[in-house]
């Protein structure tokens, strides 16, 4: 057995979280693109445990479904009517093999900044000392609300007292219990069987395990961490925002140290699962969300939101929003562009100002420069779509697909009424309402012939400034014509 590999990690996620004032269970609230409990699962999995158990109760079905969606190999354990972290841990142990041996870690589903490497260090310290129980502690300037670590005259941990049960002298202690533990599995089972509910809250406290373990002759140790943020839990939306901001600061710093230029970290938000290549520049007001991936040497921003979007090397995206889209190498997007799901922009392609795309494949070197809606369309390499073009893909019942061939040209202010196939090397005249296919080398002209009606303004808009201007212009035109005739 590997002593630095936990036999199990137990994540306690059964709390109601009433201070969140939300219909959503507390552990399903999100920061940096992950739920609180998902952050806990990622940290737990970094230790490579033999078993991972998540204890649920409030919002049971929602939380359980989310946990299994995130980690199908996790075990979901239900806490019963008995309250307290000790009882929750007992319920978790009941779902594990009865002969489980080794180290059991206990963490929480609402401590999102806890890192896997911290848990690994805890396991190593616990196993290295041959301890029966090890608690993660921290020294804080204001310990209000936390359980206090009690030490004996030798400095050894002899117990934990909760805030509501602490004396005035104990409340002055600044070393606090993080709620994160490493236990010997057999010691934990035995001690939990002897934990009672004789306290102010009438709960079965996990903290009582430490005193029982010590009384039984087991060694209890503290593993002190300097990074207080890793011990911080979320109890309300104020703390949720504070932890989200701190996590984002850390993510920005991580990427900057990896070779990414972030002009203004304070206005840049990066989710945990985002990846960014070296020498990419992130300008102010940018949000990189979900599983977005950005290549090397790209420029993103200002004012860009990318969600689950892939951006190639050397691409530039500014003042745009994209969701489930692919932006090719050296392509340009923006400003004020909206790339909806299914958009694929080829290498050196362009999606310009005030363009919306959906389920659109735009080929290498193709351009959709401005004021266009391109939905359900394939645009070949080198093609150019003129300003104001609309691909009318929806007939009120069904969506239809159109194609524009290689190096073809669609003139400005055209409407392509799908389904239409414009072949390679074809033209569509500006202002066309296209309903039929266009063959290679053809130009399609689908518009009414212009007709100018003489005297219409004088008759229909008599007495207006327009009519006066028209009369003056007509008189000047007549005078000019007479002068030319005389000469």
Residues noted as catalytic: 370
Half-sphere exposure of 59 (CA within 13 A, CB side): 19
Per-residue exposure over 427-459, b if at least 16 CB sit within 10 Å of its own CB, e if not: bbbbbbebeeebeeeeebebeeeeeeeeeebee
304: helix, strand or coil: coil
The residue length of the chain stands at 487
Is the distance from CB of 84 to CB of 203 less than 8 angstroms?
A: yes
d(CA 281, CA 271) in angstroms, rounded, equals 17
Closest CA to 332 of 314, 355, 358: 314
CA distances from 216 to 2, 87, 179, 481 (A): 26, 20, 21, 117
Is the distance from CB of 76 to CB of 34 less than 8 angstroms?
A: no
Is the distance from CB of 37 to CB of 27 less than 8 angstroms?
A: yes
Give the pair of three-digit tokens for residue 378.
């394939």
Give the pair of three-digit tokens for residue 273.
């699962």
d(CA 326, CA 420) in angstroms, rounded, equals 24
Closest CA to 228 of 71, 372, 306, 118: 118
d(CA 19, CA 257) in angstroms, rounded, equals 37
Q: How far is C-alpha 471 from the chain's CA centre?
A: 64
Beta bridge partners of 306: 288, 322
d(CA 52, CA 201) in angstroms, rounded, equals 29
């Amino acid at each position: 057995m590997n002593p630095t590999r936990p036999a199990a990690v137990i994540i306690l996620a059964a709390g109601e979280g009433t201070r969140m004032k939300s219909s959503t269970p507390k552990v399903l609230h999100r920061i940096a693109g992950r739920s609180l409990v998902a952050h806990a699962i990622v940290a737990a999995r970094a230790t490579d445990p033999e078993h991972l158990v998540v204890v649920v109760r409030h919002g049971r079905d929602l939380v359980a479904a989310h946990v299994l969606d995130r980690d199908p190999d996790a075990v979901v354990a239900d806490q019963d009517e008995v309250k307290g972290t000790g009882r929750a841990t007992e319920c978790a142990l009941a779902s594990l093999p009865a002969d489980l041996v080794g180290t059991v870690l206990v963490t929480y589903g609402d401590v999102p900044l806890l890192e896997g490497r911290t848990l690994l260090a805890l396991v190593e310290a616990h196993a290295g000392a041959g301890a029966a129980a090890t608690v993660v502690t921290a020294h804080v300037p204001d310990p209000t609300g936390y359980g206090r670590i009690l030490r004996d005259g030798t400095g050894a941990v002899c117990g934990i007292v909760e805030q509501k049960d602490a004396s005035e002298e104990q409340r002055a202690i600044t070393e606090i219990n993080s709620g994160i533990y490493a236990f010997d599995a057999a010691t934990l089972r035995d001690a939990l069987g002897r934990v009672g509910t004789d306290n102010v809250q009438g709960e079965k406290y996990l903290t009582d395990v430490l005193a029982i373990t010590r009384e039984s002759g087991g060694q209890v140790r503290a593993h002190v961490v300097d990074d207080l943020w890793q011990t911080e839990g979320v109890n309300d939306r104020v703390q949720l925002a504070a932890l989200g901001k701190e996590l984002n600061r850390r993510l920005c710093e991580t990427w900057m140290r990896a070779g990414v230029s972030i002009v203004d970290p304070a206005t840049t938000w990066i989710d945990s699962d985002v990846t960014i290549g070296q020498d990419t520049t992130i300008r102010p007001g940018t949000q990189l969300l979900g599983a977005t991936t950005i290549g090397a040497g790209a420029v993103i921003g200002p004012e860009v939101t990318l969600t689950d979007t892939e951006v190639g090397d050397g691409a530039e995206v500014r003042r745009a929003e994209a969701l489930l889209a692919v932006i090719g190498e050296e392509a340009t997007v923006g400003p004020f562009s909206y790339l909806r799901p299914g958009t694929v922009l080829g290498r050196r392609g362009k999606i310009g100002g005030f363009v919306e795309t959906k389920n659109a494949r735009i080929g290498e070197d193709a351009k959709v420069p401005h004021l266009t809606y391109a939905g359900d369309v394939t645009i070949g390499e080198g093609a150019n779509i003129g300003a104001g073009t609309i691909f009318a893909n929806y007939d009120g019942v069904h969506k239809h697909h159109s194609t524009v061939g290689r190096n073809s040209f669609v003139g400005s202010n055209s409407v392509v009424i799908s389904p239409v196939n414009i072949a390679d090397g074809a033209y569509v005249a500006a202002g066309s309402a296209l309903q039929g296919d266009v063959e290679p080398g053809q130009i399609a002209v689908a518009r009414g012939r212009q007709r100018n009606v003489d005297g219409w303004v004088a008759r229909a808009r008599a007495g207006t400034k327009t009519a006066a201007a028209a009369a003056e212009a007509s008189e000047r035109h007549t005078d000019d014509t007479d002068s030319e005739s005389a000469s």
